[in-house]
């Protein structure tokens, strides 16, 4: 949104010209004013703007921001300064938003099918549920070594055996192994279990979940998958063909 600061509209204690010297890129400011167009006689060319009566500095930016021309591209710095990466790169913000939509969709998908969302322990006496090297921790009160979970499978199956016939969990897993483009030592999974279902039921539910989520997040039925070897594949989520 464009802000128009004209001295004849100013009502604040500090003139606009005096503030101009102290405002910097990255500052967060508040505007008191009224909406309008820069060329009210021609709505096609006049840009929608806020005509300021007062400009208030809410939060100053204490460090020099990267220029828009060069951007913020260094991978090491981007991961160490995620806040700056979010400010400078719209695609990063879009990724966070899409992830939120995915989590929202998964929860609603299972709730619509009478699944109960549960939380199972993240610290276990054994590293069970999958074959992976665990992270170790120590519980002082119990004087006992514990393992960060590598999978929630065992507890979820106990819930099904106990009579909760449809359960799912969205949660963190931890594996003390190599890290690369497709593996992270801390990651999020979704596991679901349903009594009286076989492998074909699980396959059908999974396909329905993934295809519906893709349409929900992207807004369309066609997407392109970029493989690590550089190949691209067209995916039709409506027909579930890939």
Write down the H helix ranges in the chain.
16-20, 75-80, 82-88, 90-111, 153-161, 199-218
Residue whose token pair is 């579930």 = 240
- 27-52 in b/e form (b: 16+ CB < 10 A) is eeeeeebeeebeeeeeeeeeeebbbb
pLDDT digits (tens, 9 = 90+) for 86-131: 999 999 999 999 999 999 999 999 999 999 999 999 999 999 999 9
pLDDT digits (tens, 9 = 90+) for 182-240: 889 999 999 999 999 999 999 999 999 999 999 999 988 888 888 878 888 888 888 66
Q: What band does 242 get if pLDDT is binned at 50, 70 and 90?
A: very low
Domain 113-195 has CATH 3.30.70.20: no
Residue 225, SS3 per DSSP: strand
pLDDT higher than 90, residue 50: yes
Residue whose token pair is 């806040």 = 83
pLDDT higher than 90, residue 40: no
Q: Where are the domains of the chain?
A: 2-59, 67-99, 113-195, 197-242
Task: Confirm whether pTM is higher than 0.95.
Answer: no
CA of 188: how far to CAs of 60, 81, 140, in Å? Answer: 36, 22, 27
Pick from 134, 166, 168: nearest CA to 150:
134
Q: What is the pLDDT of residue 241?
A: 52
């Amino acid at each position: 949104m464009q802000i128009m600061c004209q001295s004849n509209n100013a009502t604040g204690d500090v003139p606009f010209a005096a503030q101009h010297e102290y405002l910097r890129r990255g500052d967060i400011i508040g505007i008191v004013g009224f909406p309008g167009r820069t060329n009210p006689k021609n709505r096609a060319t006049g840009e929608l703007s806020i005509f300021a009566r007062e400009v208030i500095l809410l939060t100053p930016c204490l460090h020099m921001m990267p220029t828009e021309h060069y951007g913020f591209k260094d991978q090491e710095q981007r991961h160490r300064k995620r806040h700056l990466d979010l400010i400078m790169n719209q695609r990063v913000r879009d990724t966070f938003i899409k992830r939120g939509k995915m989590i929202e969709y998964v929860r609603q998908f299972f709730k619509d099918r009478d699944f109960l969302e549960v939380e199972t322990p993240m610290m276990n006496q054994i590293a069970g549920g999958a074959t992976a090297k665990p992270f170790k921790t120590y519980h002082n009160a119990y004087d006992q070594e514990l393992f960060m979970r590598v999978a929630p499978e065992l507890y979820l199956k106990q819930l099904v055996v106990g009579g909760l016939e449809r359960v799912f969990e969205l949660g963190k897993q931890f594996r003390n192994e190599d890290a690369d483009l497709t593996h992270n030592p801390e990651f999020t999974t979704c596991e679901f279990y349903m009594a009286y279902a076989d492998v074909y039921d699980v396959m059908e539910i999974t396909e329905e979940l993934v295809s519906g989520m893709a349409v929900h997040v992207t807004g369309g039925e066609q997407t392109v998958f970029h493989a690590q070897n550089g190949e691209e594949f067209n995916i039709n989520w409506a027909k579930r063909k890939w």
